[in-house]
Structure 1
Amino acid sequence: MAERRIGYLLKELDRLIEARFDDDLAAGGLSRRHWQLLHTLSEGPRSADELRDALAPFWKAEREWEIEIRDLSSAGLIDGDAGAVALTAAGRTAHDETFVRIAERRRAMASGVEPGQFATTVRVLAQMIGNLAGGGRAGELGSN
């Protein structure tokens, strides 16, 4: 029975994660894409190409990239200099404040889940993704 409900549970969890994290990001005036850019840059400056490539799976269109970069630059959160994009002091503050909200949300989401259970859940989900992404029959066996 659990196998038949996993699709629903995953979709519902994803929906709730998206909604709650969007609320947390909006509290800091950020969109999901803004956050991804800021968080990537929190590790250090990147060339525009490196940054775009790192987040390529999230861009629906080239124009989206340009808009998000322009938004963050106009807000004074990032700066491009000598071929590298970096957080400004305001960008670092925005990242750090948002990171606190995101970390708290993640703790709340995992409340009551033992660390070992969480690790097992992540491993199991990664295995299932691998089974289905591999195109083989492994993901189909035993699920009916």
Structure 2
Amino acid sequence: MLRMIFRISIRRQEPSMKVKDVMHKGAEFADSATPVAAIAKQMRDADIGALPVKAGGRLVGMVTDRDIACRALANGGDFNRMTAKDIMSGRVVCCTPDDDIADAIDTMEKKKVRRLPVTDRDENIIGMVSLGDIAHKVGKDLSGEVLRAVSAHHR
């Protein structure tokens, strides 16, 4: 009986999917001094909703289309003088290409983020993984769970 259970559990194990199997390779980014208007145009032209922000070659934040709408436009600041540094979210959560996609999904759920920059060992941005990327590569049940968890409002 024990052998049979052991064999069944081995057969059920599947190779884990890695972030590199799901991510978009390459990533646009902005410097922290980049004007918000330029960031908006860059996002429009690249058809993306988020840009990692670098300062001194290091990843220091993230600007999303929501940041532009809520922190720049809705707050009534001088849009023409604002930069990435003024509206970015700090404390960026990242992953590596060799991380299990399950770990990346767990991070997205816990941090309630829709995108994760993918960095190499030297912390260079080499890609991005988003909810959309995950939805195209993993099962519908799992991608639906992630979407619900990330989209849930804070209580």
Bigger fraction of residues in strand: 2
- The structure that is helix-richer by fraction is 1
Q: TM-score, normalised by structure 1?
A: 0.29
Structure 2-normalised TM-score? 0.28
